[in-house]
Structure 1
Amino acid sequence: MRNFKSLVLGTAFAIATSASAMAAPITGSFDITGLFQAENSAGTNVAFTQATAIDFCASPTGACVTDAGAGTGTGTFQVNNASAGNTFGITDGGTGVVKDFSFSPFSSVNDFLKIGDLTFDLQEITNSSFSAGNFEFLVLTGTGMFSREGYDDTAGTFSFTGQTNGLDTTGTFTFSGAAAAVPVPEPASLALFSAGLLGLGLVRRRKA
């Protein structure tokens, strides 16, 4: 009986070890939309070519109400085009909170996006571009980290596109987020599990 208990406990430990080694990355892609205003460092609404910060509006539709200050408040977004089978835990039509931020200069923003138990830390802006005319565009791309309970933290990419009609200071934005491709690892979990059973078998034979 003592040997049997040791075998059961050892097998349970081997299974737990293999499960903890098994990666469970967040997968999929989605878009969010809403309203925003471009601001300078003083928190004043300006044209994109003069902007250094993004101030998101309190509602993704309707009149724009923003927080005071430059890049220090929060706004609301709506989810669109969530990919089928995604593990973000989100669906089209859901709403979440997005933090205002300064992109020039830029510093990382923890919990930049939050919806349900999903968060996205904005870690780096890799490119920015502006265009002016009858329509103004602001494009920012970069990288960050998705986090969700029950999943591994997963690197992700983002693309922010803001647009105004060239006259109003309030514009619409689309933010596209996606989990970065994760290389398929070697079957370490299977190796751990097999090694655990092999070790238990050897111990059991020695005691027999």
Structure 2
Amino acid sequence: MDKVCAVFGGSRGIGRAVAQLMAQKGYRLAIIARNLELAKAAAGDLGGDHLAFSCDVAKERDVQNTFEEMEKTLGRVNFLVNAAGINRDSLLVRTRTEDMVSQLHTNLLGSMLTCKAALKTMIQQQRGSIVNVGSIIGLKGNSGQTVYSASKGGLIGFSRALAKEVARKKIRVNVVAPDPEWSHYCLLKSQMPRSRGS
């Protein structure tokens, strides 16, 4: 069975690094970003038959259409990485409401929507893996990053709850929390039970 991985936010940063690693491991990749040209460039750098898609994760119709296109061209997605995110650093009293909404929609709602879309196929297959890219800021907070912290803290809570919800379907959900200050990673394991004999 084909190993198909969708990387939202795969055109740059952590998402692009993850895509490179997954390509080395033999996955067929869908590189997804708002900017299609950047996504195409990232997919092209990987070699092979990887594809690029444009999607605004904050828009449910966009997410649904992207999953439909991926399934038609690559096959069923069995590995999902949510690395799409934005940050608008500012003290809360100076933060515009539009910036609050855009961060929450992209960083939190976007991952919820992509997970929801991916789970339809994963549940049918009774297998799958989801990795959401959070931030250590979502755990410890940081002055000037209240909204970003809230979005990433929410993503951690969401991922933990979803892991419990889909574990019996043999679907793993994890969240990684990169630390921008010390460049180390904290992996918060899902509640996926070990199968017998493992």
Tell me which interval the TM-score lies in, with the shorter structure as reference length. under 0.3
Whichever structure has more helix as a proportion of its residues is: 2
Query: TM-score of the superposition, structure 2-length normalised?
Result: 0.26
More strand by share: 1
Report the TM-score when normalising by structure 1.
0.25
**Greater radius of gyration (CA):** 1
